[in-house]
Amino acid sequence: MSTTPTLKGHVGRESILVDANTVLLVLLPTKLPASARCQADALISAWRETRKEREKDGAKGISNILCVHESEVVTEDGEEWPAYPPNIPSASSPPLDDEYASAFHTTNLDRRLRRAFSRLHQSHTYPPLKHLVIAGAGADTVVESSVRNAADLGYIVTLVTDAVSGESPEREARTAYNLNGFARLRTTAQVLAELSSSSSSLSSSPSLPPSLQPRRSPIALLVIDVQVYCASPGAGGMHDPPPSLPPSPPSYLATRLQTSLLPALRRLLQRCRALGHEIIYTCIENATVDGRDRSLDYKLSGIDVPKGHHHARVLPEVAPWADEMIIAKTTA
Protein backbone atom coordinates (compact mmCIF):
# COMPACT_ATOMS: atom_id res chain seq x y z
CA MET A 1 0.00 0.00 0.00
CA SER A 2 2.01 2.92 -1.23
CA THR A 3 -0.73 5.54 -1.11
CA THR A 4 -3.44 6.54 1.31
CA PRO A 5 -6.98 6.59 -0.11
CA THR A 6 -8.76 9.91 0.19
CA LEU A 7 -11.08 8.59 2.85
CA LYS A 8 -11.70 10.29 6.16
CA GLY A 9 -13.49 7.69 8.27
CA HIS A 10 -15.45 8.80 11.30
CA VAL A 11 -14.77 12.36 12.40
CA GLY A 12 -14.39 11.49 16.10
CA ARG A 13 -11.88 8.72 15.43
CA GLU A 14 -9.89 10.88 13.03
CA SER A 15 -9.20 13.42 15.75
CA ILE A 16 -7.52 10.88 18.07
CA LEU A 17 -3.80 11.05 17.32
CA VAL A 18 -1.03 8.53 17.86
CA ASP A 19 0.96 9.23 21.03
CA ALA A 20 3.28 7.57 23.55
CA ASN A 21 0.36 5.62 25.03
CA THR A 22 -0.41 3.86 21.73
CA VAL A 23 0.51 0.18 21.20
CA LEU A 24 2.01 -1.07 17.93
CA LEU A 25 0.76 -4.42 16.59
CA VAL A 26 2.63 -5.95 13.61
CA LEU A 27 1.06 -9.00 11.95
CA LEU A 28 3.18 -11.61 10.15
CA PRO A 29 6.18 -9.25 9.77
CA THR A 30 8.45 -11.79 8.05
CA LYS A 31 5.95 -12.09 5.20
CA LEU A 32 6.13 -8.38 4.38
CA PRO A 33 7.88 -7.45 1.12
CA ALA A 34 11.00 -5.31 1.40
CA SER A 35 9.29 -1.94 0.98
CA ALA A 36 6.57 -2.60 3.56
CA ARG A 37 9.03 -4.30 5.91
CA CYS A 38 11.19 -1.17 5.83
CA GLN A 39 8.18 0.89 6.92
CA ALA A 40 7.31 -1.62 9.66
CA ASP A 41 10.90 -1.55 10.93
CA ALA A 42 10.74 2.25 11.10
CA LEU A 43 7.59 1.98 13.21
CA ILE A 44 9.16 -0.58 15.54
CA SER A 45 12.26 1.59 15.98
CA ALA A 46 10.13 4.62 16.84
CA TRP A 47 8.07 2.69 19.38
CA ARG A 48 11.25 1.37 20.99
CA GLU A 49 12.40 4.95 21.42
CA THR A 50 9.20 5.79 23.27
CA ARG A 51 9.83 2.81 25.52
CA LYS A 52 13.34 4.09 26.27
CA GLU A 53 11.88 7.46 27.19
CA ARG A 54 9.48 5.75 29.57
CA GLU A 55 12.33 3.86 31.16
CA LYS A 56 14.11 7.17 31.75
CA ASP A 57 11.00 8.23 33.66
CA GLY A 58 11.28 5.12 35.81
CA ALA A 59 8.73 2.90 34.03
CA LYS A 60 10.47 -0.44 33.59
CA GLY A 61 9.12 -3.34 31.59
CA ILE A 62 6.13 -1.61 29.99
CA SER A 63 6.03 -3.08 26.50
CA ASN A 64 4.30 -1.17 23.72
CA ILE A 65 5.14 -3.45 20.75
CA LEU A 66 3.51 -6.78 19.93
CA CYS A 67 4.22 -8.94 16.87
CA VAL A 68 2.22 -11.93 15.64
CA HIS A 69 4.36 -14.34 13.62
CA GLU A 70 3.37 -17.09 11.21
CA SER A 71 5.12 -19.50 13.58
CA GLU A 72 2.03 -19.04 15.75
CA VAL A 73 4.05 -17.42 18.52
CA VAL A 74 3.54 -13.81 19.56
CA THR A 75 6.47 -11.74 20.76
CA GLU A 76 5.98 -8.80 23.06
CA ASP A 77 8.98 -6.69 22.13
CA GLY A 78 11.24 -9.73 22.35
CA GLU A 79 9.28 -11.78 24.91
CA GLU A 80 7.81 -14.93 23.37
CA TRP A 81 4.56 -16.46 24.55
CA PRO A 82 2.12 -18.99 23.08
CA ALA A 83 -1.13 -17.69 21.60
CA TYR A 84 -3.48 -19.46 23.97
CA PRO A 85 -7.23 -19.58 23.42
CA PRO A 86 -8.83 -16.45 24.94
CA ASN A 87 -10.45 -18.02 27.98
CA ILE A 88 -8.12 -20.95 28.60
CA PRO A 89 -4.62 -19.65 29.52
CA SER A 90 -2.98 -23.06 29.62
CA ALA A 91 0.39 -24.15 28.25
CA SER A 92 -1.27 -27.30 26.90
CA SER A 93 -3.76 -25.36 24.81
CA PRO A 94 -3.25 -25.27 21.02
CA PRO A 95 -1.87 -22.07 19.49
CA LEU A 96 -3.40 -20.07 16.67
CA ASP A 97 -3.97 -22.56 13.85
CA ASP A 98 -5.11 -20.26 11.04
CA GLU A 99 -2.80 -17.42 10.05
CA TYR A 100 -5.48 -16.01 7.74
CA ALA A 101 -7.96 -15.47 10.56
CA SER A 102 -8.04 -12.51 12.90
CA ALA A 103 -5.08 -12.36 15.25
CA PHE A 104 -7.65 -12.14 18.04
CA HIS A 105 -9.35 -15.38 16.98
CA THR A 106 -8.71 -18.26 19.43
CA THR A 107 -5.83 -16.34 21.05
CA ASN A 108 -5.30 -14.33 24.23
CA LEU A 109 -4.04 -11.32 22.28
CA ASP A 110 -6.88 -9.15 23.60
CA ARG A 111 -5.89 -10.00 27.17
CA ARG A 112 -2.26 -9.13 26.47
CA LEU A 113 -3.20 -5.83 24.87
CA ARG A 114 -5.51 -4.87 27.73
CA ARG A 115 -2.72 -5.56 30.18
CA ALA A 116 -0.34 -3.42 28.15
CA PHE A 117 -2.79 -0.51 27.96
CA SER A 118 -3.55 -0.75 31.65
CA ARG A 119 0.15 -0.40 32.47
CA LEU A 120 0.69 2.39 29.95
CA HIS A 121 -2.16 4.42 31.45
CA GLN A 122 -1.60 3.55 35.10
CA SER A 123 -1.15 7.21 36.09
CA HIS A 124 -4.43 8.39 34.55
CA THR A 125 -7.71 8.85 36.38
CA TYR A 126 -9.98 7.74 33.56
CA PRO A 127 -10.07 4.28 31.95
CA PRO A 128 -7.34 3.92 29.32
CA LEU A 129 -7.91 4.96 25.73
CA LYS A 130 -6.96 1.81 23.81
CA HIS A 131 -5.33 3.13 20.63
CA LEU A 132 -3.77 0.44 18.47
CA VAL A 133 -1.53 1.00 15.42
CA ILE A 134 -1.67 -2.01 13.08
CA ALA A 135 0.69 -3.00 10.25
CA GLY A 136 1.56 -6.32 8.63
CA ALA A 137 1.08 -8.86 5.87
CA GLY A 138 -2.16 -10.36 4.64
CA ALA A 139 -4.03 -7.17 3.79
CA ASP A 140 -7.42 -8.68 2.95
CA THR A 141 -7.09 -11.67 5.29
CA VAL A 142 -5.43 -11.41 8.69
CA VAL A 143 -5.03 -7.61 8.62
CA GLU A 144 -8.60 -6.78 7.62
CA SER A 145 -10.17 -9.32 9.97
CA SER A 146 -7.92 -8.20 12.84
CA VAL A 147 -8.76 -4.51 12.35
CA ARG A 148 -12.48 -5.27 12.29
CA ASN A 149 -12.14 -7.49 15.35
CA ALA A 150 -10.16 -4.83 17.23
CA ALA A 151 -12.80 -2.21 16.46
CA ASP A 152 -15.51 -4.55 17.72
CA LEU A 153 -13.53 -5.03 20.95
CA GLY A 154 -13.42 -1.29 21.58
CA TYR A 155 -9.96 -0.38 20.30
CA ILE A 156 -9.26 2.81 18.38
CA VAL A 157 -7.29 1.56 15.36
CA THR A 158 -4.85 3.32 13.06
CA LEU A 159 -3.94 1.25 9.99
CA VAL A 160 -0.53 2.08 8.48
CA THR A 161 -1.32 1.73 4.81
CA ASP A 162 2.23 1.60 3.42
CA ALA A 163 3.29 -0.94 6.06
CA VAL A 164 0.61 -3.41 4.93
CA SER A 165 0.95 -5.87 2.06
CA GLY A 166 -1.41 -8.09 0.10
CA GLU A 167 -1.45 -10.35 -2.92
CA SER A 168 -1.81 -7.39 -5.28
CA PRO A 169 -2.06 -3.58 -5.21
CA GLU A 170 -5.75 -3.91 -6.04
CA ARG A 171 -6.40 -6.11 -3.01
CA GLU A 172 -4.42 -3.72 -0.80
CA ALA A 173 -6.50 -0.79 -2.05
CA ARG A 174 -9.72 -2.74 -1.52
CA THR A 175 -8.68 -3.51 2.07
CA ALA A 176 -8.08 0.17 2.80
CA TYR A 177 -11.45 1.04 1.29
CA ASN A 178 -13.22 -1.66 3.30
CA LEU A 179 -11.62 -0.56 6.57
CA ASN A 180 -12.47 3.11 6.24
CA GLY A 181 -14.70 3.80 9.24
CA PHE A 182 -13.20 0.91 11.21
CA ALA A 183 -9.76 2.54 11.37
CA ARG A 184 -7.83 5.73 10.74
CA LEU A 185 -5.83 5.35 7.51
CA ARG A 186 -2.32 6.80 7.75
CA THR A 187 1.09 6.38 6.11
CA THR A 188 4.20 5.58 8.13
CA ALA A 189 5.40 9.17 7.78
CA GLN A 190 2.11 10.50 9.11
CA VAL A 191 2.11 8.11 12.08
CA LEU A 192 5.71 8.96 12.98
CA ALA A 193 4.91 12.67 12.75
CA GLU A 194 1.99 12.25 15.17
CA LEU A 195 4.15 10.20 17.53
CA SER A 196 7.02 12.69 17.52
CA SER A 197 4.71 15.61 18.21
CA SER A 198 3.32 13.98 21.35
CA SER A 199 5.01 13.86 24.73
CA SER A 200 6.55 10.53 25.70
CA SER A 201 6.33 11.30 29.40
CA LEU A 202 4.37 8.97 31.63
CA SER A 203 2.35 11.95 32.78
CA SER A 204 1.11 12.71 29.27
CA SER A 205 -2.61 12.26 28.82
CA PRO A 206 -4.32 10.50 25.91
CA SER A 207 -4.81 12.61 22.79
CA LEU A 208 -8.56 13.06 23.16
CA PRO A 209 -9.99 16.19 21.54
CA PRO A 210 -12.09 18.43 23.80
CA SER A 211 -15.33 17.17 22.24
CA LEU A 212 -14.51 13.62 23.37
CA GLN A 213 -13.20 14.40 26.84
CA PRO A 214 -15.24 12.79 29.65
CA ARG A 215 -17.93 15.24 30.73
CA ARG A 216 -18.61 13.70 34.11
CA SER A 217 -16.83 12.13 37.03
CA PRO A 218 -15.66 8.53 36.45
CA ILE A 219 -17.85 7.53 39.43
CA ALA A 220 -21.44 6.40 38.88
CA LEU A 221 -24.24 5.57 41.30
CA LEU A 222 -26.24 2.48 40.33
CA VAL A 223 -29.75 2.32 41.79
CA ILE A 224 -31.07 -1.22 41.41
CA ASP A 225 -34.78 -2.10 41.22
CA VAL A 226 -36.12 0.65 43.51
CA GLN A 227 -39.40 0.48 41.64
CA VAL A 228 -43.06 -0.08 42.32
CA TYR A 229 -42.81 -3.82 41.67
CA CYS A 230 -40.04 -4.38 44.24
CA ALA A 231 -40.66 -1.68 46.82
CA SER A 232 -44.37 -0.97 47.14
CA PRO A 233 -46.48 -2.88 49.70
CA GLY A 234 -48.76 -5.30 47.93
CA ALA A 235 -46.91 -5.16 44.63
CA GLY A 236 -45.22 -8.17 43.07
CA GLY A 237 -41.93 -8.01 44.91
CA MET A 238 -43.47 -7.36 48.34
CA HIS A 239 -46.28 -9.89 48.35
CA ASP A 240 -46.42 -12.63 50.96
CA PRO A 241 -43.31 -14.86 50.90
CA PRO A 242 -43.68 -18.46 49.77
CA PRO A 243 -44.35 -21.11 52.46
CA SER A 244 -40.74 -22.30 52.24
CA LEU A 245 -39.51 -19.00 53.71
CA PRO A 246 -40.08 -17.78 57.26
CA PRO A 247 -42.75 -15.07 57.43
CA SER A 248 -41.70 -11.45 57.96
CA PRO A 249 -43.58 -9.03 60.23
CA PRO A 250 -46.32 -7.48 58.03
CA SER A 251 -44.94 -3.97 58.18
CA TYR A 252 -41.21 -4.72 58.40
CA LEU A 253 -40.26 -4.19 54.75
CA ALA A 254 -42.46 -1.13 54.34
CA THR A 255 -41.11 0.39 57.56
CA ARG A 256 -37.48 -0.21 56.58
CA LEU A 257 -38.16 1.26 53.18
CA GLN A 258 -39.66 4.48 54.52
CA THR A 259 -37.44 5.02 57.57
CA SER A 260 -34.07 3.85 56.27
CA LEU A 261 -33.60 3.02 52.59
CA LEU A 262 -35.42 5.87 50.87
CA PRO A 263 -34.11 8.68 53.13
CA ALA A 264 -30.55 7.40 52.77
CA LEU A 265 -30.92 7.01 49.02
CA ARG A 266 -32.31 10.52 48.66
CA ARG A 267 -29.27 11.95 50.47
CA LEU A 268 -26.93 9.87 48.33
CA LEU A 269 -28.61 10.98 45.12
CA GLN A 270 -28.45 14.61 46.16
CA ARG A 271 -24.74 14.37 46.93
CA CYS A 272 -23.84 12.47 43.75
CA ARG A 273 -25.76 14.92 41.58
CA ALA A 274 -24.03 17.85 43.26
CA LEU A 275 -20.64 16.26 42.47
CA GLY A 276 -21.55 15.56 38.84
CA HIS A 277 -21.57 11.77 39.17
CA GLU A 278 -23.59 9.74 36.70
CA ILE A 279 -26.83 8.25 38.05
CA ILE A 280 -28.03 5.00 36.50
CA TYR A 281 -31.24 3.18 37.39
CA THR A 282 -32.11 -0.41 36.58
CA CYS A 283 -35.69 -1.61 36.66
CA ILE A 284 -37.28 -4.97 36.04
CA GLU A 285 -39.37 -4.62 32.89
CA ASN A 286 -40.03 -6.98 30.03
CA ALA A 287 -39.30 -5.94 26.48
CA THR A 288 -42.55 -7.66 25.51
CA VAL A 289 -46.11 -7.60 26.86
CA ASP A 290 -46.32 -11.36 27.44
CA GLY A 291 -42.83 -11.63 28.99
CA ARG A 292 -41.47 -14.17 26.53
CA ASP A 293 -38.10 -12.38 26.61
CA ARG A 294 -37.58 -13.01 30.33
CA SER A 295 -34.65 -15.10 31.48
CA LEU A 296 -35.27 -18.65 32.66
CA ASP A 297 -34.46 -17.50 36.18
CA TYR A 298 -37.23 -14.87 36.10
CA LYS A 299 -39.72 -17.32 34.59
CA LEU A 300 -39.00 -19.91 37.26
CA SER A 301 -39.22 -17.25 39.98
CA GLY A 302 -42.47 -15.82 38.67
CA ILE A 303 -40.97 -12.36 38.17
CA ASP A 304 -43.05 -10.66 35.49
CA VAL A 305 -43.36 -6.91 34.84
CA PRO A 306 -45.06 -6.35 31.47
CA LYS A 307 -43.72 -3.71 29.14
CA GLY A 308 -45.11 -0.29 30.06
CA HIS A 309 -46.71 -1.49 33.31
CA HIS A 310 -46.74 0.95 36.24
CA HIS A 311 -44.84 -1.66 38.31
CA ALA A 312 -41.77 -0.76 36.22
CA ARG A 313 -41.72 2.85 37.43
CA VAL A 314 -39.08 4.10 39.85
CA LEU A 315 -40.52 5.15 43.21
CA PRO A 316 -41.39 8.86 43.09
CA GLU A 317 -39.38 9.62 46.24
CA VAL A 318 -36.15 8.82 44.35
CA ALA A 319 -37.29 9.43 40.78
CA PRO A 320 -34.63 10.00 38.12
CA TRP A 321 -34.03 13.39 36.59
CA ALA A 322 -34.86 13.91 32.93
CA ASP A 323 -31.31 13.24 31.68
CA GLU A 324 -30.52 10.19 33.84
CA MET A 325 -30.46 6.66 32.49
CA ILE A 326 -33.03 3.97 33.19
CA ILE A 327 -32.07 0.50 31.99
CA ALA A 328 -34.74 -2.19 31.76
CA LYS A 329 -33.63 -5.71 32.64
CA THR A 330 -35.16 -9.15 32.35
CA THR A 331 -32.67 -11.13 34.39
CA ALA A 332 -31.02 -10.88 37.77
Could you list the pLDDT tens digit for every one of the 332 residues in the chain?
A: 555 554 444 556 777 888 888 899 999 998 999 999 999 999 999 998 888 887 776 666 567 888 888 666 677 666 666 665 555 444 444 444 455 688 888 788 888 888 888 877 665 545 567 899 999 999 999 999 999 999 999 899 999 999 999 999 999 999 999 998 899 999 999 999 999 887 544 444 455 556 666 666 778 999 999 999 988 776 666 555 556 666 656 567 778 888 999 999 999 999 999 999 999 999 999 999 899 999 998 998 889 999 999 999 999 999 999 999 999 999 98
Contact 136, 183 (CB under 8 A): no
Select from 323, 218, 309 the least CA-distant residue to 281.
323
Q: 113 with 134: CB under 8 angstroms? A: no
Distance CA 84, CA 108 (A): 5
CA pair distance 76, 63, nearest whole angstrom: 7
- Global pTM value: 0.66
pLDDT of residue 204: 46
* HSE of 130, CA atoms in CB hemisphere, 13 A: 17
Residue 286 is predicted with a pLDDT of 96
Contact 100, 109 (CB under 8 A): no
With a CB cutoff of 8 Å and minimum separation 6, the contacts of 307 are: 285, 286, 287, 288, 289
Q: Where does the chain have alpha helices with state H?
A: 11-14, 34-56, 109-120, 144-152, 169-179, 188-197, 228-231, 252-256, 262-274, 296-301
